[in-house]
Amino acid sequence: MRLKLANLVGIALLGLTPPATAQLQVQSVVDLGTLGGAGSWAEGINDAGMVVGGSETTIAGERHPFLWVPDPSNPTQGTMVDLGVPFPSVAAHDVNGLGQVVGYTFGSSPAQGFLWTPTNPLDPTQGGTYQLVPGRADGLNDLGMVAADSSFDVFVWTATGGVVSTGVVGISNGITQRGDVFGASGGDSFIWVPQAPQDLSLGGTTTFLGLSGSNAWGANVHRQVVGVFSSPSSGIDSAYVWTPIDPDAPELGGTTTDLGVPGGGTYAQSESINDLGQITGVSTTGAGLNQAWVWSQGVTTLLPPLPGYTSAWTLDISNNGHVVGASLDALGNERATLWILVPPPPPDPNTEVEDLIEDVEDLVASGALNHGQGNGLIKKLEAVLKKLESGNTNAAINILQAFINSATGFMNGGILTQTEGDDLVASATAIIALLQP
């Protein structure tokens, strides 16, 4: 089935919309400020707009981790909080939906990681407490799973279970909401998928992408992976996105798209990919400057630096199209930066229903459903289109719910696989979310 808006129920429930095919527009470029020092940089952002990174302070030579919390009424305004982790050189690298933050020291060997938890999740500006995490704590999800590495042992750490090794010898660069860990090992990119995120003792499966000289810097819930590799077509280090043939079984392999050097230049790497497939990264121009960008459905949007700055790089993008990184001046001084993209228009429910009809037809053509079963589902969807045409939204929603019940019945009866049934249910659920006020 095609990868689109409704591939996961979770995405539908978040009310997310797919990226537009035209070039994206930048709505705002925001200076996030510092903790009193001259420079700062941003490394992670969650879907609530909370940003984490590192900043110089009023104490010479000290860099502290920060959490920037946006004003609920104005996402371009916010408060930067010093997390108070007692190390002279430390930065925050990721923040989850609960406002928890992970990071680690730099310039020290071995690195010391930390997990910071807000005292009041509804208002993280009130401060919080931290606990130490082994190694380089580089990623964190809403399940409280921390991806880290130490002495080239890639592992997952939780507050209750401690360290569980993935068995990968390499470095970790982060973790997805599904508990997948990604990074690099032996000059190749990898994604490690746990058998059960709630029980890490069951182990997991490691898939190497087979990309020469590569490093995986980001991944999303669809198990798409992005990073940098030695491009076989150009011979230079270029950005890539790898898409699995089956998101539920990435070990079956996937396809690699060479993004080249967006914006032009001599080097590029993808840094992050959100659940809508929007990718952010950085290129090195022919003049040796950093160029920040967002790539979406084959179209590149260049991100401008803050006024008065000459270049920029990015590290993360949220599902809301908010990008974080840093702007640099002519002397290389950094300033934490937030780019807010113009939200794309919502998808057309009629088009989504027509796409779902095609998905059912694909299942009939493959033999997963017989003609009678397929026709039953298609008739429901055609009825949805008629109700939408007449403006009877509530009736359309009720029919979509009946479609979900039928698809679930086929899945429970073993007629459809879990993946096939989940895709149909998720697509219909997403359409319902579009129709609801």
Is 3 among the domain residues? no
367, 284: one domain? no
179, 309: one domain? yes
Residue 3 has pLDDT above 60, yes or no: no
The number of folded domains in the chain is 2
Is 12 among the domain residues? no
Residue 92 has pLDDT above 90, yes or no: yes
Is 93 among the domain residues? yes
**pTM metric for this prediction:** 0.81
- According to DSSP, residue 371 is labeled H
Q: State the amino acid at position 213 in one-letter form.
A: G
425, 295: one domain? no
The CATH number linked to 110 is 2.130.10.10
What per-residue confidence (pLDDT) applies to 205? 97
Domain boundary among 341, 365, 386: 341
CA distances from 29 to 34, 37, 78, 147, 216 (A): 16, 21, 14, 30, 27
What per-residue confidence (pLDDT) applies to 198? 87
Domain that holds residue 430: 349-435
41, 187: one domain? yes
What per-residue confidence (pLDDT) applies to 22? 66
Angle (CA) 121 123 128, round 5°: 65
274, 353: one domain? no
Classify 110 as helix, strand or coil. coil
Sheet containing 36-45: give its strands across.
36-45, 51-57, 63-71, 74-82
- The HSE-up count of residue 414 (CA atoms within 13 Å, CB side) is 0
128, 191: one domain? yes
Question: Residues 112-129, buried b or exposed e (16+ Cβ, 10 A)?
Answer: bbbbbbbeeeeebeeebe
Computed from CA positions of residues 392, 393, 396, 397, in that sequence, does the dihedral angle turn out positive or negative?
negative
Is 78 among the domain residues? yes
* Helices 371-389, 418-435: inter-axial angle, 10-degree rounding: 10
356, 412: one domain? yes
Whether 356 and 424 have beta carbons less than 8 Å apart is answered as: yes
Residue 194 has pLDDT above 60, yes or no: yes
> How many CB atoms sit inside 10 A of residue 347's CB?
18
Q: Percentage of residues in the chain with pLDDT exceeding 90?
A: 86
Is 52 among the domain residues? yes
Max CA pair span of the chain: 74
328, 228: one domain? yes
Is 37 among the domain residues? yes
Domain boundary among 341, 376, 395: 341
Residue 71 has pLDDT above 50, yes or no: yes
Residue 62 has pLDDT above 70, yes or no: yes
Classify 196 as helix, strand or coil. coil
Cα separation, 84 vs 90, in Å, equals 10
Cα separation, 250 vs 271, in Å, equals 20
| pLDDT tens-place string over residues 228-275 | 999 998 989 999 999 999 999 999 999 999 999 998 999 999 999 999
330, 399: one domain? no
- According to DSSP, residue 251 is labeled G
In this structure, of 20-29, 220-229, 313-322, 397-406, the range with the lowest mean pLDDT score is: 20-29
Mean pLDDT of the region 408-432: 93
Residue 360 has pLDDT above 80, yes or no: yes
Mean pLDDT of the region 403-410: 97
Alpha-carbon Rg for the chain, nearest whole angstrom, is 22
Domain boundary among 318, 341, 364: 341
Residue 93 has pLDDT above 60, yes or no: yes
What per-residue confidence (pLDDT) applies to 10? 34
Tokens of 161: 């279970």
What per-residue confidence (pLDDT) applies to 106? 82
> Residue 318: pLDDT band by 50, 70, 90 thresholds?
very high
> Residue 87: pLDDT band by 50, 70, 90 thresholds?
confident
Burial grade of 278 (CB within 10 A; 0-12, 13-18, 19 or more): buried
What per-residue confidence (pLDDT) applies to 44? 98
Is 13 among the domain residues? no
Residue 343 has pLDDT above 90, yes or no: no
> Residue 52: pLDDT band by 50, 70, 90 thresholds?
very high
> Residue 215: pLDDT band by 50, 70, 90 thresholds?
very high
User: Which residue intervals of 58-176 are DSSP H helices?
Assistant: none
122, 204: one domain? yes
Is 424 among the domain residues? yes
What per-residue confidence (pLDDT) applies to 420? 93
27, 60: one domain? yes
What per-residue confidence (pLDDT) applies to 20? 45
What per-residue confidence (pLDDT) applies to 61? 84
Mean pLDDT of the region 375-379: 97
428, 330: one domain? no
Cα separation, 193 vs 255, in Å, equals 18
